[in-house]
Amino acid sequence: MPTKPKIGIVGKGAIGSLLSFKCATLKLNYQLLLRTKQDFCFQVQDITGQQHKITPAVSDIHHPKSFDVLILPVKAYQVMPILLQMKPFIQSHHVLVLLHNGMGTIEQVRAMFPNNSLVAATTSYGAFKPSDQRITETGLGETHFGWIKKPNTSLQNSITPILSSLLPPSTWHKDITLALWKKLAINGVVNPLTAIHNIKNGQLSDIGYQKDIAEICAEIAQVMSKAGYPVTTLELINNVLNVINATANNYSSMHQDIAFMRKTEIEYINGYVLKMATKLKIKTPTNHFLVEQIRRLETKKDA
């Protein structure tokens, strides 16, 4: 059993890059898996403003070195295509870690890899990537983890503290679903509204947006409660307002996706709400409207 598990990190998005910086700093055995093996270094500005230069240990995703844990800090819609591509290298003892906005991938991954141990995680850790080779820690967030399927105790005991140390502070949940839903509710409000109105997160505190925020939260609270995760609309609204204040100067990831004509995670955020609402026979017209609006903005890029 490995005492120091070998970690694979997929992709060099803001969180993937930050994770490789953390692994390098903590002297962990890691590889950053990219579409092509490329030598590059990036500059990290940590939370104290200190600058670090690192040359990550990169492997080609088509020829990975051996690993025990595979962390997927990628967009929700990239999870399955990447895992499909890596399927020849994924063995049943490998632990898979999902780390993205939205919900719906756990079911997909479990169907394709029923024997693999699986962790689901969500983070509000602020990482900004102003250019391909620069990362800024924008503010300390927090990370929530939960085992969906546990490995044997010894592997679990060696992996848990390592994952906890990467994006602290970390909390492990017996049932991660509630934490995932709460983060989804935040993203379900902030992301589509900022993308549709082309605004920064902080502008959502304007009086004009409060009715929309309350309606979106009310629908999500209803779906969550009927799905077995009781929550009040007020709690969701307060969580959203806290994030709007804490990230006032940021553009949300969906705002940026639309601005740069990229695909968004809408199907895994408000789209997931619609899927669950249909299953539970709940009407969610506001979420439906948001999904339609974002789909329309996404197709505009193809016009």
- In whole angstroms, how close is the CB of 258 to ligand KPL at the nearest point? 12
Site string for ligand KPL, 101-120 (x = CB under 6 A): x-------------------
- In whole angstroms, how close is the CB of 19 to ligand KPL at the nearest point? 16
Give the nearer residue to ligand KPL in terms of CB position, either 87 or 262.
Answer: 262
- In whole angstroms, how close is the CB of 101 to ligand KPL at the nearest point? 5
Positive or negative torsion for Cα 273, 10, 63, 29:
negative
The total of other beta-carbon atoms located within 10 Å of residue 301's CB is 12
- In whole angstroms, how close is the CB of 248 to ligand KPL at the nearest point? 10
Give the nearer residue to ligand KPL in terms of CB position, either 31 or 286.
Answer: 286
Residues 117-136 interacting with ligand KPL (rule: CB under 6 A): 124
Residues 228-247 interacting with ligand KPL (rule: CB under 6 A): 243, 247
Which residue of 186, 213, 273, 277 would you call a contact of ligand KPL, by CB under 6 A?
A: 186
Which residue of 15, 106, 135, 190 would you call a contact of ligand KPL, by CB under 6 A?
A: 190
Residues 36-95 interacting with ligand KPL (rule: CB under 6 A): none
Give the nearer residue to ligand KPL in terms of CB position, either 150 or 263.
Answer: 263
292-299 own/partner pairs: CB under 8 Å, 24+ apart = 293/192, 293/196, 294/192, 294/195, 294/196, 294/254, 294/258, 294/264, 294/266, 294/270, 295/266, 297/195, 297/196, 297/258, 298/258, 298/263, 298/264, 298/266
User: Do 155 and 95 form a contact (C-beta atoms < 8 A)?
Assistant: yes
The burial class, CB within 10 Å (0-12 / 13-18 / 19+), for 72 is buried
Q: What is the DSSP letter of 176?
A: T
- In whole angstroms, how close is the CB of 114 to ligand KPL at the nearest point? 30
**Rounded Cα gap, residues 181 and 223, in angstroms:** 10
Which spans of this chain sit near ligand KPL (rule: CB under 6 A)?
Answer: 101, 124, 186-187, 190-191, 201, 243, 247, 250, 252-253
